Structure 1
Amino acid sequence: MSLPTVAFIGRPNVGKSTIFNRVAGDRISIVEDTPGVTRDRIYSHGEWLANKFAMIDTGGIQIGDAPFTAQIRSQAEIAIEEADVIVFIVDGKAGLTADDETVAQILYRSDKPIVLAVNKVDNPESRNNIFDFYSLGFGDPIPISGVHGLGLGDLLDKVIENFPVEDEVEENDDIRFSLIGRPNVGKSSIVNALLGEDRVIVSDIAGTTRDAIDTRFESDGTKFTMVDTAGIRKRGKVYENTEKYSVMRAMKAIDQSDVSLFVINAEEGIREQDKRVAGYAHEAGKAVIIVVNKWDTLKKDNHTQTDFENFIRNGFKYLDYAPIIFISAKTGQRVEQLPALIKRVNENHKRRVQSSALNDVIMDAISIHPTPTVNSKRLRVYYATQVAVGPPTFIVFVNDPELMHFSYQRFLENQIREHFDFSGTPVRIIKRNRK
């Protein structure tokens, strides 16, 4: 299912990023300390009263002297196009400005729910500052303080009231996968190659995002649903080449998939936006396959593939578990191997291991590499158990979670991977006090 999307918009310096980080705070704080993961505050996840949602922060866009510039139009249109609910943030201390009215004029045409939040209302005396904002025409303004967290509960209550009701989507056991990556890396060509004459098209079904069509096909007795990402190419007038728009589309595709095929253009190598999209797939806990397309265009020798693989591994250290496949959608080189590879990493993504076998591996690992001592106190590992799949998630019960350094946690993960096939999927280890 697609998560509802909330966009935070407003002119500069009204506190969008502060509020965004407040709402996303728990998620940001628990993201694993993995070297190399590129983080960007454009997007994240939030949760309120068991309602999970995606968020896009349109902060950082500077508005020029003119009251209506290309930057502010781009900001508003990205938010309008992708959001299910828009949080329009204004500054209670500064009062109503011409730039606020400019944003409001754009939002009037959106046909999206608008929640008006007056930020920087830090005390009861300043609540009187909200009344001027009634003139914007978005109903009752909600006074909040992003710095102190005041009023955010009321704001989020209003936001989730406006979430759309999901259409019922046909439930099946298909393996759901998507192709993600920058524009022009060849995703469309790979789609066409996958849906060649040797594939049986089961049906085209309505996707869970607006205007999306998910395609079902069968290969060697296994049914797949290819999550549509063609929306990146559909809306020519809405700044589809901007990073924020492309990343937001990729987020939605990733959220709806079991497996993400992360496509890189062999001719262009790795770009910064590649790291943003791949980092999100990793943090979302999805199975990942790195697909290097246009491999036929390179002049090669005996070391070309090894050198390119090392280049990818250095650029994406946090995806060391993801298999790499070199293909050419144009010539069909190795494209026929993709369905079997998708099936394998999906099985690994949902793999469960017995607690007895898991604990044998953990105890053998400790005997090979004893637990560390911190301030004369030694880490003790008592027991481990798997608590979830998709991705495989393990709880390790210890005497003091603070004693397990990231490097030792990584060592235990590597030992688990050596004994069980988790290629293609992240593995998460949660440290917990036995008491």
Structure 2
Amino acid sequence: MSLPIVAIIGRPNVGKSTLVNRFSKLQDAIVFDEPGVTRDRTYKPAFWGDRDFLVVDTGGLVFDDDTEFLPLIREQALAALAESSAAIFIVDGKEGLTTADEEIARWLRQQPVPVLLAVNKCESVEDGLTQAAEFWSLGIGEPFPVSGIHGSGTGELMDALLTHLPDTSLIEDVQETRVAIVGRPNVGKSSLLNAFVGEKRSIVSPISGTTRDAIDMVVERGDKPYRLIDTAGIRKKKNVEYGPEFFGINRAFKAIDRSDVVLFVLDAVDGVTEQDQKLAGRIADEGRGCVIVVNKWDAIEKDSTTIYEYEKLIGDRLHFLEWAETIFISAEKGQRVEKIFDLIDIAAEQHQRRVTTSVINEVLEDAARWHSPPTTRQGRQGRIYYGTQVSTRPPTIALFVNDPTLFNEGYRRYVERQFRQSLGFKGTPVRLLWRGKKVREMERGSVNRAIKVRTKV
């Protein structure tokens, strides 16, 4: 049993995303004073009373215009209604009743879903009742005056909503694997999400910047749930103007931060660009698990050496992701898309893997036996006393040594390679913390001082 869904419907710029932020308490739907910012349907977890549910934000509905993305937005809104237990129709109390509101209300009355009417932008309680009164004529039912900005009136709206939602207390809480789909514009991120889901979940268009917000979708494979997060294409900073795209890119970075594994999508036709290198560095810095997905592989003319040449190109230009697995796919044709889940599972498992101290020290002993730590001209040699894992996501190992400055970058990379050769860690970065005697002495001194202070008190 999955969580019930509540669709948020309305014409452009009535405050749908503001209310979604209010309902979900996440404040991460893009809110900008411009029509058409939300295009796909985006899902956010929400809670009220004793119920968990999902709110799905949809694009602004316009019925008398078939230009640009508007027909696709209508298609997305209809899909959201089809899977919802209830819908909330948002109108603008300040602007008053419009012809567009009447068209949407007429359309909603034909849908087999209970609909609640929320009159937004009613910041004043007294004025709100007056503003809401004219919307009785829509034939949807009682209009609830609310303020998405201040939150007034939303409690009464949510209480009424609960009467239409099923009991969620019996839903089993299963840990999801969070997967962010990241890449430059037009590399096929939304096509990949749609291939995973098996439906047109995201608007796919050759126009750069189609996806604005981070789009969450939960899919199950076997008994494992995956939260897939499609993100806005990330362009060079100098090419991004302040506005919806700016916020969309920030959401993409946040999606990386809250994910377990990142699907880093490359365009096989374009190869590895400078922007791809910067994104790869961002993924490595954030410490996320990663799978490199080379999309549009069907568009490449191939011979027996093509794939090896491409793997070498990726290894050379994305060397800081050398630990990530690479898969070559066609999202549009569905080629090898299912195999990505196997790589996600490996990366997620390794990302949260914990290794015992005894095993870590066996690896360190073997590493020192095969390649002794470097010695300075003055005869000082580095010594590794012991190591222990201090955290996961990503696996982080503290190495206690006599002096970290005695270990050059080459030897540090050698130790990391030894860990990977002996323990695996495929698909995840491994962080090594080199801690010297002075650090430990300072820590012990701080503890001793704290003990003395407590004794005096």
Question: How does the TM-score come out when normalised to structure 2?
Answer: 0.52
1:248 is matched with which residue: 247, 250, 272? 250
Residues 195, 258 of structure 1: alpha-carbon distance in 2 compared, 3 angstrom cutoff: same
Give 2:275's aligned amino acid. Q
Counterpart residue number, 1:281: 283
d(CA) in 1 for partners of 2:325 and 2:380? 39
Give 1:393's aligned amino acid. T
Counterpart residue number, 1:380: 383
Secondary structure, counterpart of 2:227 in structure 1: strand
1:301 is matched with which residue: 287, 300, 303? 303
d(CA) in 2 for partners of 1:378 and 1:213? 53
Give the C-alpha shift of residue 247 in structure 1: 4.8
**Counterpart mapping for 1:96-245 below 5 A:** 173-196=175-198, 212-230=214-232, 239=241
Give 1:377's aligned amino acid. R
Counterpart residue number, 1:156: none
- Answer whether contact 1:259 1:289 (CA < 8 A) is retained: yes
Secondary structure, counterpart of 2:338 in structure 1: helix
Q: Deviations over 1:390-421 (max 9, x none)?
A: 11000000011111111111111100001112
Give the C-alpha shift of residue 242 in structure 1: 11
Secondary structure, counterpart of 1:348 in structure 2: helix
d(CA) in 2 for partners of 1:186 and 1:231? 10
Residues 407, 346 of structure 1: alpha-carbon distance in 2 compared, 3 angstrom cutoff: same
- Answer whether contact 1:177 1:260 (CA < 8 A) is retained: yes
Residues 352, 302 of structure 1: alpha-carbon distance in 2 compared, 3 angstrom cutoff: same
d(CA) in 1 for partners of 2:296 and 2:243? 21
1:419 aligns with 2:422: yes
Q: If you compute each CA radius of gyration, which structure gives the higher value, 1 or 2? A: 2
**Counterpart mapping for 1:250-399 below 5 A:** 250-374=252-376, 375-399=378-402
Give 1:428's aligned amino acid. R
Residues 260, 296 of structure 1: alpha-carbon distance in 2 compared, 3 angstrom cutoff: same
- Answer whether contact 1:392 1:428 (CA < 8 A) is retained: yes
Secondary structure, counterpart of 1:377 in structure 2: coil
Q: Deviations over 1:299-340 (max 9, x none)?
A: 100000000010011101111101100000111111010112
Give the C-alpha shift of residue 249 in structure 1: 3.8
Counterpart residue number, 1:127: none
Give the C-alpha shift of residue 248 in structure 1: 3.1
- What stretches of structure 1 move > 6 A for 4+ residues in a row? 240-246
Secondary structure, counterpart of 1:215 in structure 2: strand
d(CA) in 2 for partners of 1:174 and 1:282? 22
Residues 215, 243 of structure 1: alpha-carbon distance in 2 compared, 3 angstrom cutoff: closer
- Structure 1 unaligned runs (5+)? 1-169, 200-209
Give 1:218's aligned amino acid. E
Counterpart residue number, 2:147: none
Q: Deviations over 1:5-48 (max 9, x none)?
A: xxxxxxxxxxxxxxxxxxxxxxxxxxxxxxxxxxxxxxxxxxxx
- Structure 2 unaligned runs (5+)? 1-170, 202-211, 441-457
Percent identity of paired positions between Structure 1 and Structure 2: 46
Residues 433, 365 of structure 1: alpha-carbon distance in 2 compared, 3 angstrom cutoff: same
Question: How large is the RMSD of aligned CA atoms in angstroms?
Answer: 2.7
Q: Deviations over 1:169-213 (max 9, x none)?
A: x9851000111010000001100101127x9xxxxxxxxxx9654
Secondary structure, counterpart of 2:219 in structure 1: strand
**Counterpart mapping for 1:48-59 below 5 A:** none
The higher-RCO structure (CA 8 Å, 6+ apart) is 1
Give 1:344's aligned amino acid. I
Tell me whether 180-189 or 400-409 shows the greater mean CA deviation. Answer: 400-409
Secondary structure, counterpart of 2:194 in structure 1: helix
Give 2:280's aligned amino acid. A
Counterpart residue number, 2:108: none
Residues 232, 423 of structure 1: alpha-carbon distance in 2 compared, 3 angstrom cutoff: closer
Residues 367, 212 of structure 1: alpha-carbon distance in 2 compared, 3 angstrom cutoff: closer
d(CA) in 2 for partners of 1:372 and 1:232? 42
d(CA) in 1 for partners of 2:426 and 2:215? 29
Give the C-alpha shift of residue 272 in structure 1: 1.5
How many residues are matched?
A: 252
Secondary structure, counterpart of 1:226 in structure 2: strand
Counterpart residue number, 1:136: none
Counterpart residue number, 1:409: 412
Question: How does the TM-score come out when normalised to structure 1?
Answer: 0.54
Give 2:227's aligned amino acid. T
d(CA) in 1 for partners of 2:214 and 2:257? 14
Give the C-alpha shift of residue 241 in structure 1: 11
Give 1:418's aligned amino acid. Q
d(CA) in 1 for partners of 2:392 and 2:341? 21
Residues 299, 246 of structure 1: alpha-carbon distance in 2 compared, 3 angstrom cutoff: farther
